[in-house]
Amino acid sequence: MQTTGNTILITGGGSGIGAALAHEFHAAGNQVIIAGRRQAPLDAVVAAHPGMAARVLDMDDPAAIIRFAQMLVTEFPTLNAVLHNAGIMVAEDQIDLAIAEATISTNLLGPIRLSHALLPHLLAQPAATLLTLSSGLAFVPLVVTPTYSATKAAIHGWSMAMREQLKDTSVELVEIVPPGVQTDLMPGHADNDQMMPLTDFIAETMALLRQQPTPAEICVDRVRFLRDADKRGDFDAVFALLNQSH
């Protein structure tokens, strides 16, 4: 991936990882469009970055995604990169069906729907990039967030398969695999010293994205504990350690 000169959409760009990556891509000379459910956080990010654009999008609404995609390619015809960052992470007590369905719709169906709507446009570009955001929990699930963990495992599998489908096209697919990061994704994460500081995660991630060729998976060192547990043969021990307080 070329990390400058793009027109890039970043979903969930009003806070956390999305806002931090929007800052970095904007500073690197990209046209950045951030999207999210709430206008106020988007406006705050744009106010700090003259030239950045923001549009409201509910990733849980299939019809809204179609309208958004049509608007996006009309307003930003040079769009050639999409970062699927939007997601929700909510603790579940056994099976909370409302939480499970909202999580699947936002974290899994949302990126698939938006990709489906935008792929014809991206395929027509000389070079384009789809970036997905999975999680270390795609590889070792967290007991208190079963559906979140499942959606991230699904995003990983989807990313692998779609990368292969797109290998002879102008669209590359890059999967970013975060560890736990100090953001407001869940209550307490931002102040949890067991989480990776956001600035450190962003710096290491951007350095990996600048590599040529860009790795298919962007894995900071901190996530290897989870990402490679099965490969190392210590999955059971890592699962137990991750979930020891449950």
Q: Count CB atoms within 10 A of the CB of residue 33.
A: 23
Query: Could you tell me the pLDDT band of residue 187, with boundaries at 50, 70 and 90?
Result: confident
Establish if 63 belongs to a structural domain.
yes
Establish if 29 belongs to a structural domain.
yes
Task: Give this prediction's pTM.
Answer: 0.96
Q: Domain total for the chain?
A: 1
Establish if 130 belongs to a structural domain.
yes
Q: What share of the chain is helix, strand, coil (3-state, %, to 5)?
A: 45, 15, 40
Establish if 123 belongs to a structural domain.
yes
Query: Could you tell me the pLDDT band of residue 141, with boundaries at 50, 70 and 90?
Result: very high
How much is the pLDDT for 79? 98
- pLDDT higher than 70, residue 246: no
Catalytic site includes residue 90: no
Closest CA to 42 of 60, 64, 18, 74: 18
Establish if 2 belongs to a structural domain.
no
Contact 138, 182 (CB under 8 A): no
**Mean pLDDT of all residues in the chain?**
97
Q: Any idea which residue has 């939480």 for tokens?
A: 99
Instruction: Read off the pLDDT of residues 146-163 as tens digits, 9 standing for 90 and up.
Output: 999 999 999 999 999 999
Instruction: Give the residue-averaged pLDDT of 185-207.
Output: 94
- pLDDT higher than 90, residue 186: no
137, exposed or middle or buried, with CB in 10 Å at 0-12, 13-18, 19+? buried
Establish if 50 belongs to a structural domain.
yes
* Domain containing residue 53: 7-242
Establish if 1 belongs to a structural domain.
no
Instruction: Read off the pLDDT of residues 15-45 as tens digits, 9 standing for 90 and up.
Output: 999 999 999 999 999 999 999 999 999 999 9
| String of DSSP letters for 183-196 | SSSSTTSTT-TTSB
How much is the pLDDT for 108? 98
Catalytic residue among 25, 68, 139, 148: 148
Domain CATH number, residue 26: 3.40.50.720
